């Protein structure tokens, strides 16, 4: 996870440091909802986490680093919850489970994920995290398509290219739906799931 880790000489306080880092990230997520990324300051984050501004710099060097660490924590949860996409033998089950768990994460952390998308082009660290996460999902979607009988390869009608298009379609659809309501997220999920199943030839 991005950020400055406590020095080895501070092993005795490592647990306390972990709790403080969690408090910093939790505060950052709350402030994104209250103020937004641009208005939020390092001082705001430190105050919300119950520490002095100078103490925050022991963990993170800037507001961008705090947000990057928050994004890293969130995408780790996203991938862990959706890992079954790459593991389930039944493609239909894999698609349904992946979409359900993606809805859960967007409901819980949609603001963080929208912030990651918004900053991915201007903050390299966040851009790399988000791109790496997309690659993991593209690989997982590719595996599902291939298990469903889609030909492997990178041609437009083959699994890898189709998976890439599906991944970015899902991201953009959820991005917009998450700004509306939980009901819109469910509708978006059902639509994306249907398109994924059509692409895999699993609607018959």
Q: What is the pLDDT along the chain (204 residues), one digit of tens a residue?
A: 444 444 433 334 446 668 899 999 999 999 999 999 999 999 999 999 999 999 999 999 999 999 999 999 988 877 776 665 556 678 998 899 889 888 988 998 899 999 999 999 999 989 998 998 899 889 989 999 999 999 999 999 999 999 999 999 999 999 999 999 999 999 999 999 999 999 999 986
CATH superfamily, region 71-199: Tetracycline Repressor, domain 2 (1.10.357.10)
Class of residue 171 by CB neighbours under 10 A (exposed 0-12, middle 13-18, buried 19+): middle
Which CATH superfamily groups domain 8-61?
A: Homeodomain-like (1.10.10.60)
Q: Could you count the other beta carbons within 10 Å of the beta carbon of residue 200?
A: 24
Global model pTM greater than 0.75: yes
Domain boundary assignment for the chain: 8-61, 71-199
> Dihedral of CA 3/77/110/145: which sign?
positive
């Amino acid at each position: 996870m991005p950020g400055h880790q406590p020095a080895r000489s501070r092993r005795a306080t490592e647990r306390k440091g972990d709790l403080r880092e969690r408090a910093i990230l939790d505060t950052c997520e709350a402030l994104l909802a209250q103020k937004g990324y641009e208005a939020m300051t390092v001082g705001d984050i430190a105050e919300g986490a119950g520490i002095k501004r100078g103490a925050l710099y022991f963990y993170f060097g800037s507001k961008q680093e705090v947000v990057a660490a928050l994004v890293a924590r969130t995408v780790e949860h996203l991938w862990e919850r959706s890992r079954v996409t790459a593991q389930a033998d039944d493609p239909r089950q894999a698609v349904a489970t992946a979409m359900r768990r993606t809805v859960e994460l967007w409901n819980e952390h949609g603001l963080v994920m929208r912030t990651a998308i918004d900053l991915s082009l201007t903050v390299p660290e966040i851009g790399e995290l988000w791109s790496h996460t997309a690659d993991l999902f593209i690989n997982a979607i590719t595996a599902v398509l291939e298990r469903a009988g889609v030909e492997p390869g990178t041609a437009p009608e083959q699994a890898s290219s189709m998976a890439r298009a599906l991944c970015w379609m899902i991201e953009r659809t959820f991005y917009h739906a998450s700004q509306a309501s939980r009901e819109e997220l469910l509708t978006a999920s059902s639509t994306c799931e249907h398109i994924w199943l059509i692409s895999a030839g699993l609607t018959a």
